[in-house]
Amino acid sequence: MEQEPSGEEKKMSILSQITNLGYERIVVDEDCVLHEALMLLADKWTLPVLLSLMQGPKRTSNLLREVNPVSPKMLVQTLKKLEEAELIQRKVYPVVPPMVEYSLTETGLGLNQALSEFFEWSIKRASKKKKTAAVASSAKVDQIAK
């Protein structure tokens, strides 16, 4: 069984990756790609929408039911933002009445591993009181990722 890297080893791994990309140091400002990604994911409705779409393509009405209590206006704004970020795609079917379906792009699907690791990290730092809910959420993410 492989031993998990220590915090210091992980830190060095991240710093090595940054150096390999040609950056000398980390500067998280408004022009930083990390800042941009974090701000996108930090939005109230982004993660619930992405987690719902990780289960498969959805119509707007399905998303409204699953990402409750999001308002139709906020859902549309979130979907537009995610489409502009190329995390989801919108497919319009030529039927009457019009039918629109949203699904994750390859870029959006690429978040699967990162989100799974983020949920694992969240569970590890969760208080005992919140652990049960966190474990249930993690199980749902793992089920979605499969």
Smallest CA-to-CA distance from 105 within 91, 90, 89 is with 89
Tally of domains in the chain = 2
Whether 75 contacts 45, CB under 8 Å: yes
75 plus 121 within the same structural domain: no
Q: Is residue 32 assigned to a domain?
A: no
- Give me 146's structure tokens: 């499969």
Per-residue pLDDT of the chain (146 residues; tens, 9 = 90+): 556 666 566 556 666 776 777 666 666 667 777 778 888 899 999 999 999 999 999 999 999 999 989 999 999 999 999 999 999 999 999 999 999 999 999 999 999 999 988 888 888 887 655 666 666 666 666 666 66
Q: Are residues 94 and 51 in the same domain?
A: yes
Q: Which two tokens stand for residue 1?
A: 């069984």
129 with 143, same domain: the answer is yes
Q: Do the beta carbons of residue 122 and residue 67 sit within 8 Å?
A: no
> Are residues 104 and 54 in contact, defined by beta-carbon separation less than 8 angstroms?
yes
**57 — phi, psi (to 5°)?**
-60, 145
Q: Which domain holds residue 143?
A: 110-146
Does 119 reside within a domain?
A: yes
Residue with tokens 């994750």: 104
CB 103 within 8 A of CB 83: no
Same domain, yes or no: 76 and 114 = no
CATH of the domain at 54: 1.10.10.10
Q: Is residue 63 part of a domain?
A: yes
Task: Let me know the angle formed at the C-alpha of 18 by 14 and 21, rounded to the nearest 5 degrees.
Answer: 140
